[in-house]
Amino acid sequence: MRFQLTDIKKDNGNSKKDKIYSMMIFVAVVFGIYVLKLFSMQVIEGSSYRKQSQNLSQRSKQIPAQRGEIYDRNVQLPLVVNTDSFAVDIIPGDIGADMYDTVALKLASFLGIQKSDIDKKVPPNVRRSYTSIEIKSGVSFAIISNIAENLHDLPGVSWRSKPLRSYVQTGSMSHIIGYVGDVTREELKILYNKGYTNNSIIGKTGIEKQYDELLQGVPGSESRVVDVKERLVTNNSLVTKPVMGKNLVLTIDSDIQILAEKALGNRIGAAVVLKPASGEILAMVSYPFFDANLFSRDDSSAVYNALANDKSKPLLNRAVNAAYSPASTFKVLMTAAVLSEQSFGIDQKIECSGSIHYGDRAFNCHIGKPGHGYLDLKNALAQSCNIYFWTVGRDHLGVDRISSYAQEFGYGQSAEIDLPSQSAGFVPTAQWKERRYHEKWLGGDTMNLSIGQGYLQATPLQVANMMAMVVNNGTIYKPHLLKEVIDPVTGDVVDRVGEEVLFQSNIDQEYWQIVKEYLRYTVTDGSASSVLMRNKVVEIAGKTGTAEVAGIRNSWHSWFVAYAPFNAPPEDAVVVAVLVEAENQWEWWGPYASTIIFQGIFANQTFDEAVNALGFRYLTKPVGRQE
């Protein structure tokens, strides 16, 4: 039995070895077959396969989506539309080095450009690339037809639909809407993961940039098999249709925008019209402005450089991106602070003799000698008496309280309007001056701050927000330009912007009504009553301001900020803020422009009709956009 068991074990061992050897031989044979096949494909038949791969290729072409259109709040006619146009592209790798010069020269003649223009876009280091390069956009259908007829002489050349952005209303609307342009390499690095390509058109400024992803839409694509001459090998192509971008409805009222633009005229400055109860911007004007359609031209870089180097800064949106001393408009805030702090009685009077000495300096009231006489808070605001507010600010409020109230009203902080950039302005503090200048804050600094001068800086939008807080009894709603987002196919509203509280004041409710009454008294009995009381259509409440420009003698900015109707519910009120820069010939135009705007809004009149109704024709001349 022992010998038989041993023999069986030996037989089993040999059997296993035979199976392993057989398996190794099988694997070697299969591997050898694969090696031979690969050798045959790459060496023996390689030239044949290479020829086929050169003669047939898969082409995938992106179909750009049309950008969404932009409308004003009345959704009647679009402010921005798309016009048909084409772009011509080159795939350098499809041309071949020996054919490049010939193809480039012929294409340049069709496009009406120099061959050197193509060479700049297709330098030698990319001429083996199979990446599509745009040569020219804004090409007409007639030129595309000529190219198509000669396509056999233009390998690697193709075209695609690339609608141009057409801005129906330019002028002051250009600062709001902005403009579009080709994506840059730097921008593409950031946006690549969001589906943008090197052929993308993106918003550069304004609403076009702020809501670019909504406006972009979703590109489509077309895939097909073509031969070396770009001829279809099969009629079957896979097409994914593009999806148009969303349409945007703005809060802007085109009629009020044109009214405010003409009221400001050809005066360097800004005007803001807003609904205080919602934060909706009805008009936003900045002058000088520019024509956004210029950026659709081939020389858009030269256009930008010319505008950027213009000393009048037409690209600057002065309503939100430029900050100024708010001057006596700041006395509205100071009045609210005096009432809230109860640090000085509203019936107590301060004598204005036209001048006050502090330290080794004389501070002169704007009225000069002999001054306003004895004034309480109500009349000090109406007469805009500097000596009253210098005294109250320095002796009864102090820099810390004033700065705190300024921040409560939104000064020194972003207004968070839906635009790509904006100035936060500036509110100084004693600590800031010590850190910045290594100097102690002085009583004279507090006096300057008390009348909205010195280091204090604010944008016209922030000044409008300050008045909105008064109207809303202590609330500022976030200002916004977008009202609704519309589906371009169904016309349904897919999103609507609602009210959002931006700043909330701690001032007791009882004091807001007093401030409103004082502002109305300022209009009826104050320094600008002769201008403002010409308006018989609506009761206006507001405050003027004249900001002296530091370092320039006899140079002032003209301010006026107001709301109407006086004592109306916030939802029925409109706030207007106008700034006219000292760069203009001095004419104290802020109150005049504001009165015209209020007249036009509440009497439903055009600029010309409002001017005639107010009797201001003798003061005006044709300025701004004429229609």
SS3 for 142-157 is HHHHHHHHCHHHCCCE
Q: What is the pLDDT of residue 617?
A: 81
Which residues lie closer than 8 Å to 243 by C-beta, 6 or more apart?
Answer: 65, 217, 218, 220
Residue 47 buriedness (CB in 10 A; 0-12 / 13-18 / 19+): exposed
At 80, phi and psi to the nearest 5? -135, 130
What's the pLDDT band for 194 if we cut at 50, 70, 90?
confident
pLDDT tops 50 at residue 412: yes
Choice among 138-142, 425-429, 431-435, 564-568 with the minimum mean pLDDT: 138-142
- The rounded distance, in Å, linking the Cα atoms of 302 and 318 is 23
369 vs 565, residue with greater confidence: 565
Query: Is the pLDDT reported for residue 554 higher than 80?
Result: no
- Say what the pLDDT of residue 52 is: 53
> For residue 120, is pLDDT > 60?
yes
Give the residue carrying structure tokens 């360097």. Answer: 268
Sequence-distant (6+) residues with CB within 8 A of 331 are: 380, 381, 384, 389, 451, 452, 543
Mean pLDDT, rounded, of the chain: 88
> Percent of the chain, pLDDT > 70?
88
Lowest mean pLDDT among 48-52, 394-398, 405-409: 48-52
Tens digit of pLDDT for each residue in 501-538?
999 999 999 999 999 999 999 999 998 888 989 999 99
Q: What is the pLDDT of residue 12?
A: 57
Whole-number Å distance between alpha carbons of 212 and 20:
67
Is pLDDT at 57 greater than 80 in this prediction? no
Rounded to the nearest 5°, which phi and psi values hold at 94?
A: -85, -10
Least confident range from 57-66, 312-321, 324-333: namely 57-66
Distance of CA 603 to the CA centre of its chain: 31
Sign of CA dihedral 330, 331, 336, 340: positive
Residue 595 near residue 615 (C-beta atoms within 8 A): no
Domain chopping of the chain, boundaries: 2-44, 57-248
Residue type, 236: N
Taking 90 as the threshold, does the pLDDT of residue 625 lie above it? no
More confident residue, 198 or 363: 363
Query: Is there a cis peptide before residue 288, judged by omega within 30 degrees of 0?
Result: yes
Q: How confident is the model at residue 622 (pLDDT cuts 50, 70, 90)?
A: very low
* Residues contacting residue 172 through CB under 8 Å, at least 6 positions apart: 257, 260, 261, 284, 285, 286, 287, 289, 625
Q: Confidence class of residue 620 from pLDDT cuts 50, 70 and 90?
A: low
Kindly state the tokens that stand for 296: 């659709």
- Identify the H or E element spanning 344: none
Q: What is the pLDDT of residue 627?
A: 31
Q: What is the mean pLDDT of residues 21-45?
A: 70
Distances (CA, A) of 21 to 17, 24, 285: 6, 5, 90
- Residue range 131-153: mean pLDDT, rounded: 85
CATH H superfamily, domain 57-248: Penicillin-binding protein 2a (Domain 2) (3.90.1310.10)
Query: Kind of pairing, strands 201-203 and 247-250?
Result: unpaired
Residue 233's pLDDT is: 57
Handedness of CA 410, 416, 419, 420 (dihedral sign): positive
What pLDDT is attached to residue 411?
Answer: 98
pTM (2 d.p.): 0.84
**Tokens at 512, concatenated:** 């807001």
90-94, 388-392, 411-415, 452-456: range with lowest mean pLDDT: 90-94
Measure Cα distances from 321 to 277, 286, 355, 460, 468 in Å. Answer: 23, 10, 35, 9, 19
> Out of 68-77, 85-94, 263-272, 287-296, which region has the weakest mean confidence (pLDDT)?
85-94
Rounded Cα distance, 521 and 532, in Å: 12
* Tokens describing residue 1: 């039995």
Q: Mean per-residue pLDDT for 397-405?
A: 97
Rounded Cα distance between 462 and 406, Å, is 11
pLDDT digits (tens, 9 = 90+) for 199-224: 788 999 999 999 999 999 888 877 76
pLDDT bracket for residue 237 (50, 70, 90): low
Mean pLDDT of 97-108: 89
Q: How confident is the model at residue 169 (pLDDT cuts 50, 70, 90)?
A: confident
Q: What is the rounded distance in angstroms from the CA atom of residue 79 to the CA atom of residue 293?
A: 12
374 pLDDT higher than 90: yes
Angle, CA of 592, 597 and 601, to the nearest 5° = 150
| Nearest Cα residue to 527 out of 318, 328, 326, 334 | 328
Instruction: Give the residue from 481, 525, 202, 537 showing the smallest Cα distance to 384.
Output: 525
* H or E element that contains 363: strand 361-364
